[in-house]
Each structure stands twice: as structure tokens, then as C-alpha cells.
Structure 1
Amino acid sequence: MERLGKLALTVLRVFMVAALTAMIVLVFLNVVLRYGFNSGISMSEELSRTLFVWLIFMGAVLAMYDHGHLGVDSLVRRLPRASQIGCAILCDALMLFCSGLLMVGSWKQVLINWGNAAPVTGLPIGLTHLAAFVCSIGLVIVIGAHLWRVLTGRAGSRDLVQVVESEDLAPEIRPEAAR
């Protein structure tokens, strides 16, 4: 099961690199064609926007997995371990609830907008909303796995504090990770 999770994360990272590369190429070519040759790629803007939305939502899943979201952890760090566990369970439950709301709402938007086509590319508008739905599934899996680790007692001290207080303290170089 862990192998499947690592494979999914690798696929997600490769997708994000491919989407970012495609966005850069599309926008660069469009700028060169517009200013150099007075022409352009008509679908560049729509396709780049859709890829950007997918990139952001998939990045949210990876950030959740890597504990890379910013937050205030000064209170939780000062609590005893039992209270940290309680906070982690409460936070996970609230995040699962919010992810469920995102899942239901985005799926409704996918169904509503799947029949509507984008003006230039002709792609379904629901494809953009599908990014939020896929993100919510990823979030539920990541948060659910974290909650399972906490409930079964396999969560370490880094797992109980799920945020980074400062952008300067990346998860790989936090003082706890160095020990």
C-alpha cells in the first residue's frame, strides 16, 4: 500500500512538472509569435489557465503530504503529548469535513459545467472544476492516513504539528528533522 502511495506522489509530481513546462512553453511561444510575427496561439491563454488551476490544486495535495502549509504552531508545540494528539485528531476531523465539502461542491460544479465548452479550446469547463474534486480526494487520503497514524499511536512528534510556522523553516530543515 505504501508503494502505491509513493507511486501516486511521483505521478503527481511528474504531472505538475509537465503542466508547468507546458504553461511556460505555451506562454513563451505566444509572446514570441505576437511580438515577433504578429500572430499567436489562440488557445494558449485558456489552456494555460486550466493547467494553472490543476497545478495549484495538485500542489495543495503535495503540500499537505509534506506538512508544508503555513500556520501557527506555537501553542500546539507547548502542549503535552496527549493534548497534541487531541489537537491533531480535532484538526484532522475538521479538515476531513472541509475536504468533504470541497468534494461535494466541486463534483456538483463538474456535473453542471461538463456540457459547457470553453470558447477557444472547446474543452469542457467542468474539466477545470474536476481539479478541485481530484484535490479533495487526495486531501481525504492524506488526512485520513495521518489520522490513522495518530489514532494507532504511530505518529511522531513531527506528525502532531502539521504546519510550518515560517516560510524560512522548510520541512526538510526544521530543527526536529535534523535530529
Structure 2
Amino acid sequence: MSRLYKFVESLLNVMMASFLFLMMVFILGNVILRYFFNSGLTWAEELSRFLFVWIVFIGAIGAMKDNKHLGFSSVVKQMPLAVKKLFVVISNIVMLWVLYLLLTGTWAMTVLGMNNRASSTDMPLAFMFGVGLITFSCMIVMVCINTYRAVYVEGAVNELIDLQESEDEVHLEKFAKGDDK
């Protein structure tokens, strides 16, 4: 399982890096064409937009894996272990419900997008919405694993509620240590 997990993580990182590189090439190429030749590639702009959407959604998978989505856990951190577990399970049930709604909505949009085409690239819009199917499916699996870990793995609850609250908290910690640069 660990090898599969690392392979998928590496694949997602390579995809994000490749998409970012392609975006840079398309946009830079378009800027050069417009500046020097007064023309551009309309498909490059549209494809860059599609790639950006894919990067954002794939990045959301990585943020979920690393538990880096914003959350509010200051109150929960102060509670006893049993209450922490309860809060983690309840929040994961809510997340599963929301992810289910997002997945079914994305499925509907992907099916509708099969027959609709993008204006410049003539690609099916299902390509644009399809990333949501991948993202929300991966997130559902991760939330299920985290729920199992919270209930059955000792010490996992404290790790799971250690959320990224805000950048202000990081700056306050640095300031408290005297490293306010």
C-alpha cells in the first residue's frame, strides 16, 4: 500500500510540474507572438486555463493528504481525547457528505460536458470537469482513511486536528520566539 501511495503522490507531483511548465511555455510563447508579430494563439490561452484548473485541483489533493487545508482547531485541541475523536469523526462525516455532493455534481457536469466543446481547442469540456472526479474521489478515500485512523490508531487524532489555521499563527509563533523577520 505504501508503494502505491508513494507512486500516486509522485505521479501527481510530476503532473503538476509538467502542467505548470506547459502553462509557462504557452503563455510566454503567446506573449512573444503578440509582442513581436501582433498575433497570438487562442488555443494556448484556453489550454493554459484548463491546465491551471487541473493544477489547482491536483494541489487540493496534496493539501488534503498533508492536512494543510485551513481549519479551526484551537478549541478542539484543548478537549479530552474522546471528545477530540468525536469531533474528528463528525467533521469527517460532514466532509464526506460535502465531497459526495461535489462528486455527484461534477459527474453531472462531466456528462453534460461530453457533448460540449471548448471554443478554441475543440476539446470536450468533460476534460475540464473530469479533474473534479479524480480530486473528489481521492479526497473521499483520504477522509475514510483518516476517520479509520482517528477511531482505531492511537495518537492519530492529535495529528489529524493539527490543521493549518492561518499564516498569522505562524508569524505569531515566530514573533514569540524573537524571530520576527
The question of a shared fold, defined as TM-score above 0.5 by the shorter chain, is answered with: yes
- Percent identical among aligned pairs is 34
Structure 2 counterparts to residues 156-171 of structure 1, below 5 A: 156-167=156-167
Contact 1:70 1:167 (C-alpha < 8 Å) held by counterparts: no
Q: CA deviation at 1:134?
A: 1.0
2:113 corresponds to: 113
Q: What aligned pairs does 1:81-92 form with structure 2 within 5 A after superposition?
A: 81-92=81-92
**Partner SS state of residue 43, structure 1:** helix
Does residue 11 of the first structure (1) align with residue 15 of the second (2)? no
Aligned partners of 2:146 and 2:160 also within 8 Å: no
Structure number with larger C-alpha Rg: 2
Give distance in 2, aligned partners of 1:83 and 1:15: 39
In the TM superposition, what is the alpha-carbon distance from 1:160 to its structure 2 partner?
A: 3.1
2:126 aligned partner? 126
CA distance in 2, matches of 1:151, 1:161: 13
- Map residues 26-45 of structure 1 onto 2, 5 A cutoff: 26-45=26-45
Deviations 1:85-111 (A, max 9, x none): 111111111111111111111011100
Contact kept in structure 2, 1:27 and 1:44, CA below 8 Å: yes
Residues 43 and 155 of structure 1: CA distance in aligned 2, closer, same or farther (over 3 Å): farther
Let me know the Cα RMSD of the aligned residues. 1.7
Match of 2:46 in 1: 46
Equivalences, count = 171
2:16 and 2:104 map into 1 onto residues whose CA distance is 24
The equivalent of 2:76 in structure 1 is 76
Q: Give the Å deviation of 1:169.
A: 6.3
Residue 159 of structure 1: CA displacement? 2.6
Contact 1:146 1:159 in 2 (8 A): no
* CA distance 1:168–1:25, change in 2 (3 Å): farther
Shift of 1:75: 0.6
- Number of the residue aligned with 2:147: 147
Q: Corresponding residue for 2:174? A: none
Gaps of 5+ in 1: 171-179
Cα distance between partner residues in 1 of 2:162 and 2:65:
9
Judge conservation of contact 1:30–1:44 (CA < 8 Å) in 2. Answer: yes
Contact 1:106 1:132 in 2 (8 A): yes
Deviation at 1:40, TM superposition (A): 1.6
The alpha-carbon deviation at position 144 of structure 1 amounts to 1.2
In 2, Cα distance between equivalents of 1:19 and 1:144: 29
1:126 maps to a residue whose letter is A
Asked if 2 retains the 8 angstrom alpha-carbon contact of 1:109 and 1:126, the reply is yes
Q: For the structure 1 residues 162 and 122, does the alpha-carbon distance in structure 2 shift closer, same or farther, using more than 3 Å as the test? A: farther
Q: Which of 34-43 and 45-54 deviates more? A: 34-43
Deviation at 1:157, TM superposition (A): 4.7
Question: Within 5 A, what are the aligned runs for 1:164-179?
Answer: 164-167=164-167
Structure 1 runs of 4+ with >4 Å offset: none
CA distance in 1, matches of 2:58, 2:131: 8
